[in-house]
Amino acid sequence: MNKDSIKNLQQLVKAAADEYGDKIFLKERQGKDISEKSFDSFYEDVRRVSAFIMSKRDNGQPVHAAVIGPTSYNWLISYFGTVSCGSTAVPLDAQLPCDEICDLLCRADVSVFFYDKKYEKMIPAIKEQCPDIKEYVSFADMASLLEANKPAELPEIAPETLAAIVYTSGTTGKSKGVMLLHSNLIDNAMCMDGESSTADVIMTVLPIHHIYCFTCDVLCSIRYGAELCVNDSMMHIPQNLKLFAPTIMLLVPMIAETLYKQIKAGAAANPGLTEAQIANSVFGGRLKTIFSGGAYLRPELQKAYIDMGIQMNQGYGMTECSPRISTADPTDKSCSGDVGVIVNGCQVKIEDGEILAKSPSVMAGYYKDEAATAEALTSDGWLRTGDLGYVDEKNRIFITGRKKNLIILSNGENVSPEELENKFAGKEFISELLIYGDDGVITAEIFPSAEYCKDMSKEDIEKLFKDTVKEINKTVTSAKQIHRLRIRDCEFDKTTSKKIRRNQPVQGRQI
C-alpha cells in the first residue's frame, strides 16, 4: 500500500479493498458459527452506510453519529460509513451508565445513534434526554439498512476534516471530547513501517472505543492487510486464542499479567513442560508479538514473555495524540523500563519535567471547550501530556509519573506516587494499591488479594504489608519513604478502563 497517497480514512479503506480484495479482513463469532468478511465486502458495506448517513444530512452539513457496543463488524461499518462521507463518528464507552451516555450524546451534538441490541432498554431514556437524535439504528437491523442503501459515490474529504470526537475517561474531572482529524489518524496509523503483514492474524481484545485499540488493531489491520479476529468476551479469551491462533495481540499489562499467571500455573502443574511450551499452547501456537500500552509494564513481566519467545513491545501515547507518541524498538530486548522510541514524525521535549509532544497526530482540540484546549495545547502546537519523564540518548521515553498527581511535601519536595506504586507491582498479595499524600504524609492504601490472604489472620496480613513497605522504603530516598499504611476492605472506585480514581475519599483503616 502506497501510504503517501492516503490522506483520509476513506482512501485507506478503498486502498485496502483494491489491494487485498477478497482476502479475509475480519472474523467474528456469531453463535456457534464464525462469520468472515473480506476487504472488498467491507468497503462496499461502508459505502452503503455512507449512503444512509448522507441521506440524513441537514442542509448538507456533516452528521455526528455515535456508535456504541463491543467490537463487531457492524460497529466498524457504522464508524467507517460515517467518516467516509465526511461526517463525524462519536465512539462511546460501552461500559458507561445510561445517564453518562446521554450526557455525551448531547454534548457531542449527535443526530444519528448506532447501537448494539443490548442497549435496547436504554433507548426510551435516551430519546427523552436527547431530543436532537433523529435516527436510531440497532445493529440487529443493520442487514436491512445495508439492503435498502446502494453503495454511495463518496465525496472528496479534506485531510483536516473532523473524523471523530473521542471522549477521554480521565481519573479526575469530567471527560473531554478529543477532536481527531482524518490527518491525525492517518499520520498515526502510518508513522511506523513493518509492524505487520498480510500473513498476520491480529486478535483484538481491548475496547474498540479506545483510540489505542482503534488505531493499533483496526487501522493497522486495514493498512497491512492483516486478518482481524474479534474476541467477543474477556471470559472467552482462552477459547478464542485457540480458535483464532493470533500472531499479534494488543494488550494492557493487567491482561498480560493474568495470562502469565495461567502460564506459570500450567508449568507448575506440568513439570515436564517449560513456560515457553505452555505459552505456545495457551496462545494458539503462533503468537510472536504482543504490543503493550495503557499502563505501567513491569520489566520483569516483559522479560518473562521475551524469554518464552514472544516479543513484548511497550509503547506510549494518549487519545490526544491519536494515540502513539512512542513505540518499542523490536531489536531492543533490554527490558529497561522505557516506553519505547519516539515514533517517526513526532517531536518530544521536556519542560519542567513534563513531556510535551508535537506531531501531525496531535488533536485539533477539545470539542466546544476552548479553555481546556488552551490548557492542553501551547500556542505553537505542542501537546502538554501531563506525564512526567525524560528521554535518553537512544531516543527512548521513560515515564516517572503524572504531573497532577504529584505529592507536595512540607519541605517543598515533589514525590511521584506512580514511582512508588510501580515498586509494588507484581506482589501477588496486593489486589489494588494507591499512594497519596495525607496531610503531607506519604500514604499507601492497599486492598489485599482475597485469594492470597484467605487463610491468613488479620495480624499476619498487617505484618506482611508492614514488612513489604519497610523493604520498599529501603530502595528510595528518605523524602520518598512511605510513613502511613492503610488496609481497605473493598475495591477502589475505578473508571470503565479499570484505572483507580485518585480523588476518592480515604476508606482504609490505618495500621
What is the overall mean pLDDT for the chain?
A: 95
Per-residue buried b or exposed e for 388-404, using 16+ beta carbons within 10 Å of the residue's own CB: bbebeeeebbebebbbe
Q: pLDDT grade, residue 184 (50/70/90)?
A: very high
How confident is the model at residue 510, as a pLDDT? 80
Strand ranges (DSSP E) for 301-459? 311-314, 316-317, 324-327, 341-342, 347-351, 354-358, 365-366, 383-391, 397-402, 407-408, 414-415, 430-438, 441-448
**Closest of 224, 181, 187 to residue 25, by C-alpha:** 224
How confident is the model at residue 507, as a pLDDT? 73
pLDDT at 171 over 70: no
Please give the Cα distance from 164 to 180 (Å, whole number): 5
Show the CA angle centred on residue 22, arms to residues 46 and 145, nearest 5°. Answer: 25
How confident is the model at residue 331, as a pLDDT? 83
pLDDT at 508 over 80: no
C-alpha dihedral sign at 32, 238, 286, 217: positive
* Phi, psi (deg, nearest 5) at residue 183: -65, -35
pLDDT at 74 over 60: yes
How confident is the model at residue 251, as a pLDDT? 96
User: CA distances (Å), 466 to each of 44, 271, 473, in order?
Assistant: 62, 34, 11
Residue 380 burial (10 A CB sphere; 0-12, 13-18, 19+): exposed
pLDDT at 165 over 60: yes
Label residue 366 left, alpha or beta by phi (over 0 means left) and psi (-120 to 50 means alpha).
beta
Q: pLDDT grade, residue 438 (50/70/90)?
A: confident
Show the CA angle centred on residue 486, arms to residues 480 and 489, nearest 5°. Answer: 145
Tens-place pLDDT, residues 376-403: 999 999 999 999 999 999 999 999 999 9
pLDDT at 473 over 90: yes
Say what the pTM is: 0.89
Which residues lie closer than 8 Å to 459 by C-beta, 6 or more apart?
A: none
Provide the percentage of residues in the chain whose pLDDT is more than 90: 86
Tens-place pLDDT, residues 305-333: 999 999 999 999 999 999 999 998 888 88
Query: Within 10 Å of residue 114's Cβ, how many Cβ atoms?
Result: 29
Tens-place pLDDT, residues 198-252: 999 999 999 999 999 999 999 999 999 999 999 999 999 999 999 999 999 999 9
Domains and CATH numbers, the chain: 3-20+37-157 (3.40.50.980), 211-358+375-403 (3.40.50.12780), 406-510 (3.30.300.30)
How confident is the model at residue 182, as a pLDDT? 99
